[in-house]
Amino acid sequence: MFTGIVEAVGTITHVTINPTVLTIHTPPPSPILHDAQLGDSISVNGVCLTITSLLPHPPTAHDSPHFTSFTVNLAPETLRLTTFGLSTIIAGTHVNLERALTNATRFGGHYVQGHVDTIARIVRKTRDEESVRFEFFIPKSVPGGDGVGRYIVQKGFVAVDGASLTVTGTGRVGVPGEEGDEGCWFEVMLVAYTQEKIVTAGKEVGEWVNVEVDMVGKVIEKQIQEHISGPAFESLVEKIVTKKLIAAGVLTE
């Protein structure tokens, strides 16, 4: 579990195919690996992955050994649902990094599982004073894209490449002002500080991002579906309808 507050930006230094393994380097001042252990969960561009190896930095006369790189393995499902399955993931690609939360973590974002729902394409990027407004389009045709828009709500949370952001606009018809693929769109705004801390700020129109919707909406929907599909709900509806029909004189007790 994560909070969506990006701790560092790392760089993919090596990509191995079949199986897909990424080697990611972290900047020297970053604390991201100072307490890392093999098997730890780490969010890489919003995807919860497992650290499979830690690569140390050679010690110097003024420094003790410490980890500066790590590797993660990508499962076929991860490649299918996330931007890691696109051919754009190459050595030199920058990624958002966040360690799994602990009971001592300050909770500044929202609950992010690291289970990406789908991907979205940047369709507009405009400056609004010191902030930058991004509009994203989720095609119905991409894996996980069909129906995901119902969980993205105005002023709600959404994780974009693992960063917890506030939704400032949303729609479920298509790209505003454009013809083409069916799907949904949503909008976020990045303040100046956030622009300096996450990789998404440097992306341009046409590039893709990982999207995880707020899990609270999915949990509520599931609970309601379970409730209304059971015999208890049917019995309740039957009692209400019967009471109304008796009150209207259609039925007698």
Active-site annotation holder among 75, 91, 192, 232: 75
**122-131 exposure pattern, b = at least 16 Cβ within 10 A, e = fewer:** bbbbeeeeee
- Name which of 70, 81, 152, 164 is nearest 117 in CA terms: 81
Residue 192 is a catalytic residue: no
Long-range pairs of 144-151 with CB within 8 A, sequence gap ≥ 24: 144/81, 144/116, 144/117, 144/118, 144/119, 145/118, 145/119, 145/183, 148/117, 148/118, 148/184, 148/211, 148/213, 149/183, 149/184, 149/186, 150/217, 151/117, 151/213, 151/214, 151/217, 151/218, 151/221
Please say if 48 is a catalytic residue.
Answer: yes
From the candidates 2, 70, 134, 137, give the one annotated as an active-site residue: 2
Catalytic (active site) residue 2: yes
Give me the catalytic one of 41, 67, 94, 168.
Answer: 41
The single residue of 3, 48, 93, 159 carrying the catalytic annotation is 48
Catalytic residue among 16, 166, 235, 242: 166
User: Can 184 be counted among the known catalytic residues?
Assistant: no
Pick the catalytic residue from 50, 126, 131, 229.
50
Question: Catalytic annotation on 126?
Answer: no
User: 14, 34, 66, 115: which one is catalytic?
Assistant: 115
Angle, CA 115 vertex, CA 82 and CA 119 arms, to 5°: 30
Would residue 186 show up in a list of annotated catalytic residues for this protein?
no
Residue 13 is among the residues annotated as catalytic for this protein: no
- Which residues form the catalytic set? 2, 41, 48, 50, 75, 115, 166
